[in-house]
């Protein structure tokens, strides 16, 4: 028994030394605390089943009208289309789900059938995708609502006045208290669907907007962004709201669209399963600007 007890520690030591040698050979700097990397350069080709699965993923994760059309096209035709379902738009989603463990410097050369509208024919193309751009496009996307087809899943709530948020055929949503040649008192909200941030370490939003025909003195008072973690439905007054700061406003005297800049979410929203953001519009019988909004994007900052 004594000899056996001596052999076991020796076997354990041999295993540890072997493991250390393996790590040193395969992961340079392992024992110095340097994390091993997984950088690869693969080749891949989309099969018929890949297109079916991709179509399903598009419908689950991407919600615009254009995405739905693209998903249906991909599912039926088993190919991409330069105008209806562009490969550059949807291959990143395919890659982000298939290659979960590669470092962001990894790449995949993808072969796929694509209908080239300008040439009127289907071609087999090979395109290289670097995964850092793939992860940015999809892994950190929380909500994408361009407002190019409708108000999306946002809810329109009228608190005061007869005017409402609406979608415009020029591909944006808008709100104005001006109607029948007069200014009107209004308080109107455009509230997002519930966002699950339970696994997010950070979040910020941005959008493009323009404001015109109002009193520029009230520009930042009448056009604001709010966030709630306890809103369920109905009147905004049933919930607690925190005002978020919009870094950049339009000048208020033209129809020029400007980028809002990054609007950070407060730490109270992170880890929460029920987060709503809302555009709040105010006007009076003395002045009522028009607020137009498009290209809303909410992301998790991966840096």
Q: What is the pLDDT of residue 47?
A: 95
Q: How far is CA 254 from CA 9, 17, 185, 261, in A?
A: 80, 72, 22, 19
The pair of three-digit structure tokens given for residue 86, joined into one six-digit string:
């562009």
Query: Is pTM beyond 0.85 here?
Result: no
**What is the CB-side half-sphere exposure of residue 212 using CA atoms within 13 A?**
11
**For residue range 2-40, what is the model confidence (pLDDT) as tens digits?**
222 332 332 233 333 333 443 333 333 334 444 445 677
101, 38 in Cβ contact below 8 A? yes
Contacts of 64 (CB under 8 A, 6+ apart): 144, 145, 146, 148, 149, 152
175, 188 in Cβ contact below 8 A? yes
Where the chain has pLDDT below 70, the residues are 1-38, 63, 100-104, 133, 135-139, 302-303
CATH number attached to the domain at 144-299 = 2.60.120.260
DSSP string, 87-110: HHHHHHHHHHHH--S--TT-EEEE
The pair of three-digit structure tokens given for residue 156, joined into one six-digit string:
């329109």
Axis-axis angle for helices 131-138, 87-98 (nearest 10): 90
**What are φ and ψ of residue 139, in 5° steps?**
-65, -25
Task: Fill in the DSSP letter of residue 192.
Answer: P
Axis-axis angle for helices 48-61, 87-98 (nearest 10): 90
Query: How many residues are given for the chain?
Result: 303
236, 189 in Cβ contact below 8 A? yes
**For residue range 173-204, what is the model confidence (pLDDT) as tens digits?**
999 999 988 999 999 999 999 999 988 888 99
Q: How far is CA 280 from CA 158, 160, 165, 262, 283, in A?
A: 10, 12, 10, 18, 10
Q: What angle do CA 206, 95, 100 make, to 5 degrees?
A: 90
Closest C-alpha to 274, from 231, 244, 225: 231
Alpha helices in the chain (DSSP H): 2-26, 48-61, 65-77, 87-98, 131-138, 219-222
37, 106 in Cβ contact below 8 A? no
Q: How far apart are the first and last CA of the chain?
A: 56
Show me where the domains of the chain are located.
Answer: 41-139, 144-299
Closest C-alpha to 146, from 125, 170, 123, 130: 170
């Amino acid at each position: 028994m004594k000899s056996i007890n001596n052999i076991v520690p020796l076997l354990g030591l041999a295993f540890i030394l072997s493991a250390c040698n393996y790590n040193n050979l395969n992961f340079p700097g392992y024992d110095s605390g340097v994390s091993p990397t997984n950088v690869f350069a693969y080749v891949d080709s989309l099969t018929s089943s890949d297109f079916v699965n991709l179509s399903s993923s598009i419908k689950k994760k991407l919600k615009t009208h254009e995405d739905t059309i693209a998903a249906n096209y991909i599912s039926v035709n088993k190919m991409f289309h330069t105008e209806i379902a562009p490969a550059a738009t949807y291959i990143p989603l395919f890659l982000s789900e298939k290659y979960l463990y590669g470092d962001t410097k990894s790449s995949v050369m993808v072969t796929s059938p694509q209908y080239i509208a300008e040439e009127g024919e289907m071609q087999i193309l090979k395109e290289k995708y670097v995964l850092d751009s793939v992860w940015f496009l999809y892994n950190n996307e929380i909500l994408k609502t361009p407002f190019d087809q409708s108000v999306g899943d946002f809810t329109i709530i009228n608190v005061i006045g007869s005017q409402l948020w609406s979608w415009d055929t020029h591909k944006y949503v808008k709100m104005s208290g001006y109607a029948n040649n007069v200014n009107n008192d209004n308080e109107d909200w455009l509230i997002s669907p519930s966002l699950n941030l339970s696994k997010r370490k950070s979040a910020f939003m941005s959008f493009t907007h323009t404001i015109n025909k109002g009193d520029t003195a009230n520009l930042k008072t009448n056009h604001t962004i709010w966030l709630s973690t306890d809103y369920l439905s109905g009147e905004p007054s049933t919930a607690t709201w925190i005002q978020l700061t919009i870094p950049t406003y339009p000048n208020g005297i033209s129809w020029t669209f400007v980028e809002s800049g990054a609007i950070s979410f407060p730490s109270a929203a992170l880890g929460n399963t029920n987060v709503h953001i809302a555009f709040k519009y105010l006007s009076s019988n003395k002045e009522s600007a028009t607020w137009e909004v498009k290209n809303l994007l909410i992301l998790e900052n991966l840096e």
